[in-house]
Amino acid sequence: MSGALLSADQLGRWYGQVVGLSDLTLSLERGVTGLVGPNGAGKSTFLKLVAGEIRPSRGTLEVLGLKPFANAELFRRAGFCPQQEALYEDMTGLEVVRFLMRLHGFSAAEATRRANEALDRVGLGDARKRRVGGYSKGMRQRAKIAQAIAHGPELVVADEPFNGLDPVGRAEMTALFAQAGREGMSVLVSTHVLHEVEALTHEIVLFHRGRLLAQGPVGQVRQLLSRHPRRVELRAREPRRLARALVELDFVLSVRVGPADGRIDVETFELERFFEALTRIAAETRAGVTSLESHDASLEAVFDYLVA
Amino acid sequence: MKAATHTEIYRPFRDALAPSRWAFWPLYRAQMAIATKRKLPLFILFFGPAMTGIVVSFLAYLQFQIEESGSGGPLISGGGLVAQFASQLLEVHKLIIAAMKTVRFFAVLAMAWYGAGLICDDRRAGAHLLYFSRPLTRFDYMLAHFATAFTFGCCAVLGPGLLICLVATFNSPDFIFLTEKWPVIVATIGYSLVFVTALSALILAVSALSKRKSYALAAVFGVFMSTLALGGAMSALMRERQWWMLSLASHFERVADWWLGASRSFHRWDPWWSVAVLGGLTLVSFAIVAWRVRRMEVVA
């Protein structure tokens, strides 16, 4: 499925004097997109705007071609997993999801069937008849995800869905969202656990202090950060010989030889040219390069560069 | 058995779901289901209204037996206290007024217990985020919560009233209570609905303004009991009955006396004042609820 998932134009949302989101203009394609940013960055505000929970203070927003606020048609095509607890403690997991499906307009039998299916998918099949009050934090998160996917939406908006999940649970939910994305469901996930976003998708939207800081594939975003040189970590049997040759390159900013392990840290603004040159120099100097890594293309590094 | 895997997640719903005109119904049912899960509070809170209904119905039954069988009838042949008491309560509407006055505090207790947490607990847990991302309007949301408080109020007030009317109807000769005294039944229903509607709206408004159920519960009782105490105190100090107009309970009492045709009412003011006060209270309460529900998106 192709086409714009959502488009925002000068979108803003204030809570009285507090700016939740300011002057956001972006367009997202269908697929899995990760929303990252520190606390108070505006992720939850943006997701609530997308889910139609709150209305924009200014600007326009269209999700699946529809204005989201209080739009029943969109609500049938989208599922929302909020960050808050949100579930009634005295109901069982099955009752919660079933009653929320009834709010969508499904018949009792269909609502029950969908609730059961969704709870199975999130791994709550055995606990479906237990009270939500007796659920662990992770189980509650799973129940919230179940209610968001049970009606078969085109878009799932999940606000910090990995909070409270143990590592196994996180991996399972990451896999679930990734698979949903592969099967054609669009997923918009916010999290501050960066490596989970990386495991899920390379498409990110980065917020900071209510503003859009970056958008796109992580690698491409990193390339745009030209004021930060790329860092490359090398290991060689003859590190000093290799370092002498590397420092001669005009696009290499710095070379630092480590005290042990034959480690060399290189900073350069032109990573591709550096790799081309390195192949040649390694062969000429016979320095014996044993490893080559570039850590700062990771989402975490990009995040640090952008937010710091 | 044929092997199969069920790993698919995304199965989009292809059919069309008709927009429901009764979108509040599933939420109402869920609220009722939650409220009735714990049986002990249910038993404690409705024991009073149930006993009142049963006792007063029995008195109504006795009254008709007295009228039918005369002073030598089997039920009162033993004479004594029951016969004396029953013969003093000559008319069913007086019994209903007595019942209404008795159950009102139980009704406030039950309605406040089940209604005080409806909106504030939703807001605290963020449950409204799940509702408002579904085809449920703010109006449906308010309606569902109102209906929940209203239902418990009806069980506490209308239930005993109708039970008395039912007993009177089936024990009156040729159902004469139904054919001749039907205005009493209408007035009982009318008064109950006014009481329950006004109180439900007040409780929801307090819930919408409170952070926790316990605060809302205290506030509802605060409003009801403090106005009663204030009215009583001012009336005693100033030696003027009109000060009872400060009391919410007195306004309900005045309306009950008026509609159910009490020959003497403790409160002497024009009953339309009470109607105006209760109507105004209801409207203001609904306005507060609407405002707070709308603000839920701000604090979401």
Q: Do A48 and B137 touch (CB under 8 A)?
A: no
Domain boundaries, given as residue ranges, for chain A = 4-223, 230-307
Which tokens go with A174? 């990451």
Q: Do A87 and B133 touch (CB under 8 A)?
A: no
Which residues fall within 8 angstroms of residue A281, CB to CB, at 6 or more apart? A242, A245, A246, A287
Residues of B in contact with A85 (CB under 8 A): 125-126
**Å from A158 to nearest chain B CA?**
12
Q: Do B10 and A15 touch (CB under 8 A)?
A: no
Q: Do A52 and B10 touch (CB under 8 A)?
A: no
> Which range, A285-289, A303-307, B200-204, is most confident?
B200-204
Please provide residue A61's backbone torsions phi and psi, each rounded to the nearest 5 degrees. -140, 135
Chain B residue closest in CA terms to A15: B298
**Å from A215 to nearest chain B CA?**
26
* Higher pLDDT, residue A198 or B192: B192
Fold (CATH) for A230-307: Alpha-Beta Plaits (3.30.70)
For B245-286, the pLDDT digits (tens) are 888 988 998 888 888 776 666 777 888 999 999 999 999 999
CATH class label, A4-223: alpha beta
**Number of inter-chain CB pairs under 8 A, A vs B:** 113
Rounded average pLDDT over A60-87: 90
For B155-179, the pLDDT digits (tens) are 999 999 899 888 888 887 778 888 8
For A224-255, the pLDDT digits (tens) are 666 678 888 888 888 999 999 999 998 888 99
Residue B39 has pLDDT above 70, yes or no: yes
Out of B8, B18, B34, the one facing A105 most closely (by C-beta) is B18
Q: Checking phi first, is residue B232 left (phi over 0); if not, alpha (psi -120 to 50) or beta?
A: alpha
For A113-170, the pLDDT digits (tens) are 999 999 998 889 899 999 999 998 888 999 999 999 999 899 999 999 988 788 888 8
Chain B residue closest in CA terms to A181: B10
Residues of B in contact with A178 (CB under 8 A): none
Rounded average pLDDT over A21-39: 88
Looking at residue A7, what is its pLDDT?
A: 93
Alpha carbon distances (Å) from B48 to B55, B100, B106 = 10, 12, 6
Residues 120..159 of A with a Cβ closer than 8 Å to B: which? 120-121, 147, 149, 151-154
Residues of B in contact with A72 (CB under 8 A): 19, 135
Which tokens go with A52? 């139609």
* Tokens 């004097």 -> residue: A17
Chain mean pLDDT for chain B: 83
For B217-228, the pLDDT digits (tens) are 999 988 888 998
Is B163 within 8 Å of B53 (Cβ atoms)? yes
Is A229 within 8 Å of A294 (Cβ atoms)? no
Q: Do B33 and A91 touch (CB under 8 A)?
A: yes
Q: Checking phi first, is residue A155 left (phi over 0); if not, alpha (psi -120 to 50) or beta?
A: beta
Residues of A in contact with B5 (CB under 8 A): none
Looking at residue B19, what is its pLDDT?
A: 64
Query: What interface predicted TM-score (ipTM) does this complex get?
Result: 0.75
**Å from B35 to nearest chain A CA?**
9
Rounded average pLDDT over B11-35: 79
* Tokens 């606000």 -> residue: A159
Out of B126, B133, B298, the one facing A84 most closely (by C-beta) is B126
* Tokens 């605290």 -> residue: B124
Q: Which residues of B215-241 are buried (b: 16+ CB within 10 A; e: fewer)?
A: bbbebbbebbeebbeebbebbeeeeee
Out of B20, B29, B133, the one facing A51 most closely (by C-beta) is B133
Out of A91, A100, A176, the one facing B9 most closely (by C-beta) is A176
Is A113 an interface residue toward B (CB < 8 Å)?
A: no
How many other β-carbons are positioned within 10 Å of the β-carbon of residue A224? 11
For B90-133, the pLDDT digits (tens) are 567 778 888 888 888 889 999 999 999 999 999 988 899 899 88
> Which residues of B have a CB under 8 Å from any CB of A?
6-13, 17-20, 23, 26-27, 29-30, 33-34, 37-38, 125-127, 129-138, 297-298, 300
Residue A81 has pLDDT above 50, yes or no: yes
User: pTM for this structure?
Assistant: 0.78
Is A72 an interface residue toward B (CB < 8 Å)?
A: yes
Out of B29, B30, B130, the one facing A86 most closely (by C-beta) is B130
**Å from B39 to nearest chain A CA?**
13
Looking at residue B230, what is its pLDDT?
A: 92
